[in-house]
Amino acid sequence: MVYFLVGIAGIIGASLRYLMGVPFSHIMLHGYPLATFLTNMIGSFILGWFTTFLPKLKFIPPHVITALGTGLVGSYTTFSTFSVETVQLMAASKWGIAIIYVLFSLWGGLLLSWLGYRIGKMYKKGGEASC
């Protein structure tokens, strides 16, 4: 059952990834791959939030949480595209943009994942928020 749910969630996540890329595919800031960057930043935040928030909702079974994290968010984000775009930037001798892309992706992803994690932690059982 969990494999099926992960697969279905993966189809949804991959479709959302494609839809996210369509409006941003023509927007390049001096060669900066904005669509992949935004997708990965959003996914980092959501996965950080899902990781801490969803397990607190006892009505959501663990296999559904796995499907949402691994299937949905895992297929929404795209490390492989990030890697290829970085190599393409380097091959085009756009080293400055490539370095900025890698650093912003790494530190931005970590920051947004941490932020999602912290926001997910704020929710306590019973519905009240705390820090």
Backbone angles phi, psi at 54, to 5 degrees: -60, -40
- For residue 12, being part of any structural domain is answered with yes
> Using CA atoms, how far apart are residues 39 and 43, in angstroms rounded to an integer?
6
- For residue 115, being part of any structural domain is answered with yes
Q: Count up the domains in the chain and report the number.
A: 1
- For residue 97, being part of any structural domain is answered with yes
Per-residue confidence (pLDDT) for residue 71, from 0 to 100: 95
Per-residue confidence (pLDDT) for residue 73, from 0 to 100: 95
Exposure string for 111-124, b = 16+ CB within 10 A, e = fewer: ebbeebbebbbebe
- For residue 25, being part of any structural domain is answered with yes
- For residue 36, being part of any structural domain is answered with yes
Strand partners, 129: 123
- For residue 6, being part of any structural domain is answered with yes
Question: Is 74 annotated as belonging to a binding site?
Answer: yes
Question: Is 48 annotated as belonging to a binding site?
Answer: no
- For residue 127, being part of any structural domain is answered with no
Per-residue confidence (pLDDT) for residue 131, from 0 to 100: 52
Per-residue confidence (pLDDT) for residue 111, from 0 to 100: 98
Per-residue confidence (pLDDT) for residue 123, from 0 to 100: 78
| Whole-structure pTM value | 0.87
Segments forming the whole domain that contains residue 46: 2-122
Contact indicator for 24, 63 with CB cutoff of 8 Å: no
- For residue 130, being part of any structural domain is answered with no
- The whole-number mean pLDDT for each consecutive block of 10 residues of the chain, a chain of 131 residues, reads 93 93 74 90 96 93 94 94 95 96 97 97 64 52
